[in-house]
Amino acid sequence: MAALDEDADDPYLWLEELDAADAVRWVTERNTETLTALTDPGFAATRDAIREVLDSKDRIPYPSWLGDGFYYDFWRDADHPRGLWRRTTVDEYRRDEPAWDVLLDVDALNEAEGEHWVWGGVAMLRPSYDRCLVSLSRGGADAVVVREFDLRGRAFVEDGFALPEAKSDVGWIDVDHIYVGTDFGPGSLTSSGYPRIVKRWRRGTPLSEAELVFEGHVDDVSVSAGHDPTPGYERDFVGRYLDFYRSRLYLRRPAGDLVRIDVPDDAACEVHRDWLLIRPRTPWTVEGVTYPAGALLATRFEPYLDGRRDLTVLFRPDDRTSLSSYTWTRSHLILVTMTDVRTQVHALTPDASGWHRQPLPGAGEFDDTWIVDADPDNNDSYLVSSDGYLQPAALSLGTVGGEVEVIKRQPTFFDPDGMAVRQFFAVSADGTRVPYFVVGPDTAGPTLLTGYGGFEIALTPGYSGVIGRGWLARGGTYAVANIRGGGEYGPAWHRAALREGRTKAFEDFAAVAADLVARGITTPAQLGIEGGSNGGLLMGAMLTRYPALFGAVVAAVPLLDMRRYTKLLAGASWIAEYGDPDDEADWAYLREFSPYHNVRPGQPYPPVLFITSTLDDRVHPGHARKMAALLRQHGYDVSYYEYVEGGHGAAADNEQAATIWALTLEFLWRRLQAA
C-alpha cells in the first residue's frame, strides 16, 4: 500500500465523525475486544489496587489559598466520585481530620439536574470572596458552562451571570461586571476554537449588549481580559495570544484605551504591585545589554511604561540550570530552579538597595520541590511540597525569614524496600547529553519508560502510588526520559525540538531506550513505553521509526495525523510547536515523522494499545481511531479503548482513571513479562 498523503488518500476519514453509526460501531467492537483480552482477575486486582490509591482519604488535599483566611480544595473519593468543592480554615487544616465546609457537591448536583457534570474550576470575586463563577463540563471536556455561585447561600444565583457550553474565559471586575470571552456567534472564535473577542458584561443585561473590549484575529489562539483588585494597584489587562508562545499584554486604562507593555512577543510578563517581571524566551537586547533566553528580569512597572529600562536580573540560566517557577508572597518572590532536573528554592526580597537572595529549605537529592500556593495580598507565608519517586509528599507551611513546618504527609502506598532512584545521561544522535531517571530494583527485567518532550513542560521526580502499586511493587522498573522539547533546561532545550527539530526529541528518547539496554537494566523485548497527548505523538514516532527498540507501546489521547491535526479541534493552536501542514515547506518535514503517514507493512512493530476519549475536545479521538484502523489493516497487534467521558484526561472520575491505568499497566506487563 502506498503511503498516506493527501486527504483523498485517507481510507479512515470516516472515523473522525464522532457519533456516526459506523464509527460508533467500530469503537464498540474495539472496546469489547480489548476488555475481553485484558479484563480477568489479574486486571481486577490491579484496577482495585490503583483505585484504593486514587480514593484514599489519607491523600494530601492540596489547597488553593485565596486570601480570605480559608484553604479551598476540590476533593474526589469513593463516596464522592465527581467531587466536593470545600474549604476550611488554616488552623483547622493542620488537623489530621479537618472539618471541611462543603460549598458544592457535584454528585448531588448531577443527581438533582440529571447531568454528568465534571468540575472545571472557579473564578473568585475579590476582595469580598462571597461570589464566584463556577465552570462545569459535560464528561470532562474543555468546553464548560459557567454559572454564578453564592458562597454564603451555597446556591447558584438565580438570574446571575451564566454562559452556555463553550471554551469560555471569564473573570470578575466587580460584583456587577465581568470580563467574558466566549462563543458570541459566527466569527467570534479563533481558528483554534477559543475566544477571539472579549467583552465587559454588566449584571442584569443581555450578553448581546455587553461592551466590546478587544477583538483579536481569527488566526490568533485566543484573547482574554482580567482585573487586578489589589488595593492601591487596581488595574485591568488585556491579553492577545498570537500563538502558543507569542503574546501581547496591554494595560487597559479607565477610559478603555489600551497601552501595550513593550516586551518581546515571545517573552512572558507579569505585574505584581510595583513590579513587572519579564522572562524572555530568546535573547533580548535592551539599551546595549543582551539578556539570555530563560532569564528572569524585574523592573518598576510605572517607570517602565514611561520608557525607562532599568532591568535587574533576578535569575540567569546556564547550560545546566533553568528557572522552574516563581511565586509572589506579599513582599518576596520565591524562585524554584532546576540543575540537571534537581530543584533548589530561594526567596528574593527587594528594598531600596536592590534585591537580596536567601535559600529556603528544599528537597532531597532526587526529590522535587514546588510551591503549592501563597497569599500575595496579605502575608509572606507559602505552602511548599516536596516528594520523590520513592518518597511520599510532605506539605509544609513556611514564612520567608521564618520557620518551615510540615503540616501534611502523604501515606506510603507501596513498599520501596530494595528499590533505588538513579540518574543517568544518554548520548543522543547529535552528541547531546540527555538525562533520565531509573526507579526500581538493581536487576534486569520489565521496564516502563515514559516521556513527553514538548511545549517546554519538564518531567520532574514525583511520588506515584499508581506506578508504585501497579508496576514497581510487582518487580518492574520505571524510567523517565527528560528529552528535548521539554523545559528541563529552559527555553533552549524546548526550542531545539520545535517544528523541523522535532526529530531531536525522538532521537533523544531512542538514545535513552538504547542506554537502558546497554546498562543491562532491561532488553528491547522487555522495554515498554507510554506517553499521552504530545507524548502520544512521541509514542507513535517510536512505533514507526524505532520499532526494534521496544517490546510494547501505549499511546494515550495521542496526536498522530500531522496532515490534518490543524483541522481537528484545538489543533491550530499548536502550529508554533509543530508547523503548518498547509505550508508546503512545513509539510515536507511533518510528513517525515507523522506516525499515521509512516505506517508500513511488514515492519517489526511491537504490540500497541491506544487509549482515548470520545469527549476529548482538545486532541480529536480520530487520531487514535485512524491509526489503530490502519495498523489493523496491515495485520499488526493493536488494542484500542475509548471512554465516552473523560475529555483530554481520558477519565472523568477515579473509577475511570483506575480502569485506564489498569489497562495500560496490565497490557504492558503481560507483553513484557512474556518476552
Q: List pLDDT tens digits, range 330-349.
A: 999 999 999 999 999 999 99
Distance (Å, whole) CA 308 – CA 300: 9
Length of the chain equals 675
**Cα–Cα nearest to 648, from 624, 618, 610:** 618
Based on C-alpha coordinates, what's the Rg of the chain?
A: 25
pTM for the whole structure: 0.95
Share of the chain above pLDDT 70, in %: 98
Q: If you average pLDDT over residues 285-314, what whole number do you get?
A: 97
Share of the chain above pLDDT 90, in %: 93
Pairing of strands 404-409, 433-440: unpaired
Q: How far does CA 2 lie from the centroid of its chain? A: 37
**Cα–Cα nearest to 481, from 456, 506, 518, 517:** 506
The reported pLDDT for the residue numbered 644 is 85
Secondary structure (DSSP) of 112-149: HHT--EEEEEEEE-TTT-SEEEEEEEETT-S-EEEEEE
Phi, psi of 105, rounded to the nearest 5 degrees: -100, 105
| Residue 272 CB neighbours (<10 A) | 16
Distance (Å, whole) CA 470 – CA 504: 31
Nearest-5° angle of CA 43, CA 44, CA 46?
65
Residue found under cell 481510507: 11
The answer to whether 310 and 444 have CB atoms below 8 angstroms apart is no
pLDDT tens track for 317-329: 999 999 999 999 9
The answer to whether 128 and 175 have CB atoms below 8 angstroms apart is yes
Q: Does the structure show a pLDDT above 50 at 385?
A: yes
pLDDT tens track for 173-190: 999 999 999 999 999 999
C-alpha cell read off for 188: 467570534
Q: If you average pLDDT over residues 283-289, what whole number do you get?
A: 97
Residues in contact with 513: Cβ distance below 8 Å, sequence separation at least 6, in sequence order: 449, 524, 527, 529, 542, 546, 549, 550
The answer to whether 410 and 372 have CB atoms below 8 angstroms apart is no
The reported pLDDT for the residue numbered 363 is 67
**Cα–Cα nearest to 125, from 149, 144, 101, 104:** 149
Q: If you average pLDDT over residues 106-113, what whole number do you get?
A: 97
The answer to whether 616 and 586 have CB atoms below 8 angstroms apart is no
Residue 293 confidence class, pLDDT cut points 50, 70, 90: very high
Q: Does the structure show a pLDDT above 80 at 2?
A: no
Of residues 649 and 318, which shows the higher confidence score?
318
What's the mean per-residue pLDDT of the chain? 95
Amino acid at site 475:
G
Active site positions, annotated: 533, 648
Distance (Å, whole) CA 596 – CA 564: 10
The answer to whether 605 and 547 have CB atoms below 8 angstroms apart is yes
Distance (Å, whole) CA 236 – CA 183: 22
The reported pLDDT for the residue numbered 9 is 82
Q: If you average pLDDT over residues 294-309, what whole number do you get?
A: 97
Q: Evaluate the omega torsion of the peptide bond into residue 621 and state whether it is cis, within 30 degrees of 0.
A: no
The reported pLDDT for the residue numbered 1 is 41
